[in-house]
């Protein structure tokens, strides 16, 4: 019998799952209990045949067969329709049909009408023994559901005591043999012993399923943590491999330039700019790695305030216009006055990475940085006339260490800039869109929706948890 998948850990989820498993456990035992009950019914009919009137004996047997048939129908329906479903369906099914067990116990309790003080002592002993065996069987098969077990035991005992009381008090007017009272006392003691034993067995069942649930949750947690550790190792290896590959070229160039400068000092004016460029490339890589480290460690501290977007873009112009002019590119700035609610440092990092990316992959033409108004919301656009990005790569470029393979001559890229941009825009709640045509250029549009500091911090935590599950 298939058990339901373990739900996420919580006290209510655990209790719900355990209840479902207790019902499954009860229903698993019912076919064997049904078979033994029918055998004991045949024993009682055989023992009492000839001692009591056949009419009440046949009526009792017929009633027992009807109830047994009802139970069998319920079990078959459960096995064919409900067994492989979830906990909620199992519990709902059981609630609909749980009265069949007290009904069966009532039939057995009424057997005392057939033999108590109406057949020989030997036959009575056998019948009492059969009833005791059935009662003990019921605590074994029904104890996983404490309420059902108690209802069955109470119904059987109450029916038997009612029949005995009617016989002793009403029919015999308390003039019957004294052993009747000892039988009543014995039945009461046996009834309470069975109830206590059933409760102990139920608690054992419940503890076993609770331990099973917690062990499964622990195994699942350990599996997720192990996978997270393996993922972290893989990310670290990829990180180191990519960083080593990216840093090798500028460091190697620095060594060559320094060697040339040592042997041919007259080339200082030619080599100095190249040394500066190589140094900048190394610094850019370290800046990106530091940004990535802060993101992946969850140590980003947000400082949300009103940002003068025009001033921010002018500051970026001062930084990037010389780079464009050095490559023979035009740098144009179009401003729409306004402010945005954001983290000024992170926003500058986002826009700086986008402009740097545009300069890097543009060989002719120029860059346009524009702020535009959408009602009360500002939108910043970064246009370039560069290589463009094919549709097949437009989602991938936001992954860490990803480089568009068709961009020849752009090996100096580290594959981190747009990954960092994507993470930061998600955290700040600034939607970023991209449009591009291969060979024509690219435009990034950043909508500066107001940043909610608390929501941004929660997004930062969730982003880290998604990247490293179980962290």
Q: What confidence tens digit (pLDDT) does each residue in 308-324 have?
A: 999 999 988 887 887 88
Please give the pLDDT value at position 319: 78
Please give the pLDDT value at position 103: 92
The average pLDDT across 147-165 equals 93
Least confident of 6-20, 101-115, 139-153, 441-455: 6-20
Please give the pLDDT value at position 310: 92
Q: What confidence tens digit (pLDDT) does each residue in 420-462 have?
A: 788 888 888 899 999 988 888 999 999 999 988 888 777 776 6
Minimal CA–CA distance to 308: which of 328, 335, 289, 290? 335
CA distance 471 to 461: 10
Do 271 and 399 fall within a single domain?
A: no
Do 76 and 219 fall within a single domain?
A: yes
Do 211 and 258 fall within a single domain?
A: no
Do 219 and 288 fall within a single domain?
A: no
Q: Is residue 443 part of a domain?
A: yes
Inter-axis angle of helices 417-428 and 344-360, to 10 degrees? 150
* pTM across the whole model: 0.52
- Polymer length in residues for the chain: 471
Please give the pLDDT value at position 388: 85
Do 200 and 274 fall within a single domain?
A: no
Q: Is residue 77 part of a domain?
A: yes
Tokens, residue 259 = 């060697």
Do 108 and 141 fall within a single domain?
A: yes
Tokens, residue 102 = 């007290």
Minimal CA–CA distance to 3: which of 115, 90, 81? 90
Please give the pLDDT value at position 345: 80
Residue 306 β-bridge partners = 341
Do 255 and 370 fall within a single domain?
A: no
Rg of the chain's alpha carbons, rounded to an integer? Answer: 41
More confident of the two residues 431 and 412? 431
pLDDT at 402 exceeding the cut of 90 = no
Q: Is residue 455 part of a domain?
A: yes
pLDDT at 334 exceeding the cut of 90 = yes
More confident of the two residues 65 and 291? 65
Do 128 and 164 fall within a single domain?
A: yes
> For the chain, what is the mean pLDDT?
81
Domain that holds residue 57: 11-224
Domain count, the chain: 3
Do 42 and 183 fall within a single domain?
A: yes
Q: What is the DSSP string of 210-224?
A: HHHHHHHHHHHHHHH
Residue 435 β-bridge partners = 443
Q: Is residue 2 part of a domain?
A: no
More confident of the two residues 303 and 3? 303
Q: What confidence tens digit (pLDDT) does each residue in 68-122 have?
A: 999 999 999 998 888 888 888 889 999 999 999 999 999 999 999 998 988 888 8
| Pairing mode of beta strands 305-308, 366-374 | unpaired
116 near 164, Cβ under 8 Å?
A: yes
Please give the pLDDT value at position 321: 85
Q: Is residue 168 part of a domain?
A: yes
CA distance 245 to 22: 58
Please give the pLDDT value at position 247: 58
Residues near 470 by beta carbon (within 8 Å), at least 6 away in sequence: 221, 224, 225, 228
CA distance 347 to 446: 10
Do 153 and 266 fall within a single domain?
A: no
Please give the pLDDT value at position 82: 87
pLDDT at 1 exceeding the cut of 50 = no
pLDDT at 163 exceeding the cut of 90 = yes
Please state, for a pLDDT cut of 90, what percent of the chain lies above it: 28
Please give the pLDDT value at position 385: 92
Q: What confidence tens digit (pLDDT) does each residue in 178-194 have?
A: 889 999 999 999 999 99
CA distance 378 to 369: 13
Please give the pLDDT value at position 174: 87
Minimal CA–CA distance to 149: which of 112, 337, 173, 157? 157
Tokens, residue 387 = 């290589």
CA distance 100 to 78: 14
Q: Is residue 234 part of a domain?
A: no
| Pairing mode of beta strands 366-374, 330-334 | parallel
Cα–Cα distance list, 271 to 172, 183, 259, 267, 412 (Å)? 125, 113, 10, 6, 19
Q: Is residue 231 part of a domain?
A: no
Cα–Cα distance list, 103 to 68, 191, 298 (Å)? 10, 18, 62
Residue 18 — very low, low, confident or very high, per pLDDT cuts 50/70/90? confident
Residues near 340 by beta carbon (within 8 Å), at least 6 away in sequence: 306, 307, 309, 347, 378, 448, 450
Q: What is the CATH number of the domain that holds 413?
A: 3.30.565.10
CA distance 25 to 223: 28
Q: Is residue 332 part of a domain?
A: yes
pLDDT at 412 exceeding the cut of 90 = no
More confident of the two residues 48 and 259? 48
pLDDT at 469 exceeding the cut of 60 = no
Please give the pLDDT value at position 300: 62
């Amino acid at each position: 019998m298939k058990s339901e998948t373990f739900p996420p850990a919580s006290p209510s989820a655990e209790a719900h799952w355990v209840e479902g498993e207790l019902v499954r456990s009860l229903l698993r035992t019912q076919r064997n209990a049904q078979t033994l009950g029918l055998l004991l019914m045949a024993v009682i009919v055989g023992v009492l045949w000839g001692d009591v009137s056949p009419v009440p004996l046949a009526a009792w047997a017929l009633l027992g067969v009807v109830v047994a048939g009802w139970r069998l129908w319920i079990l078959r329906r459960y096995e064919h329709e409900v067994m492989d479903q979830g906990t909620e369906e199992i519990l709902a099914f059981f609630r609909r049909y749980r009265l069949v067990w007290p009904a069966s116990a009532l039939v057995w309790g009424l057997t005392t009408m057939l033999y108590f003080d109406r057949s020989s002592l030997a036959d009575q002993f056998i019948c009492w023994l059969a009833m005791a065996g059935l009662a003990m069987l019921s605590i074994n098969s029904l104890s996983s559901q404490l309420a059902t077990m108690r209802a069955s035991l109470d119904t059987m005992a109450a029916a038997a005591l009612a029949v005995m009381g009617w016989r002793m008090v009403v029919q015999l007017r308390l003039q019957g043999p004294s052993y009747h009272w000892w039988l009543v006392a014995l039945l009461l003691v046996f009834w309470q012993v069975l109830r206590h034993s059933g409760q102990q067995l139920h608690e054992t069942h419940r503890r076993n399923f609770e331990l099973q649930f917690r062990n499964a949750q622990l195994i699942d947690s350990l599996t997720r943590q192990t996978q997270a550790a393996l993922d972290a190792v893989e990310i670290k290896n990829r990180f180191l491999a990519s960083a080593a590959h990216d840093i090798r070229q500028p460091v190697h160039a620095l060594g060559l330039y320094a060697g040339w400068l040592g042997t041919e000092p007259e080339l200082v004016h030619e080599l100095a700019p190249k040394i500066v460029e190589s140094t900048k490339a190394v610094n850019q890589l370290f800046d990106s790695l530091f940004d990535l480290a802060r993101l992946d460690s969850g140590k980003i501290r947000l400082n949300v305030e009103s940002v003068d977007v025009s001033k921010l873009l002018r500051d970026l112009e001062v930084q990037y216009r010389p780079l464009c002019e050095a490559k023979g590119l035009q740098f144009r700035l179009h401003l729409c006055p306004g402010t945005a609610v954001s983290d000024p440092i992170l926003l500058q990092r986002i826009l700086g990475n986008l402009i740097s990316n545009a300069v890097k992959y543009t060989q002719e033409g120029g860059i346009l940085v524009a702020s535009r108004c959408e009602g009360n919301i500002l939108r910043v656009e970064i246009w370039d006339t560069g290589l463009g990005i094919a549709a097949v790569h437009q989602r991938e470029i936001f992954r860490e260490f990803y480089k568009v393979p068709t961009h020849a001559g752009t090996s100096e890229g580290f594959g981190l800039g747009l990954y960092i941009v994507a993470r930061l825009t998600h955290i700040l709640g600034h939607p970023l869109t991209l449009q591009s045509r291969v060979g024509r250029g690219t435009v990034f549009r950043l909508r500066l929706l107001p940043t909610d500091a608390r929501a941004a911090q929660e997004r930062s935590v969730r982003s880290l948890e998604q990247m490293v599950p179980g962290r």
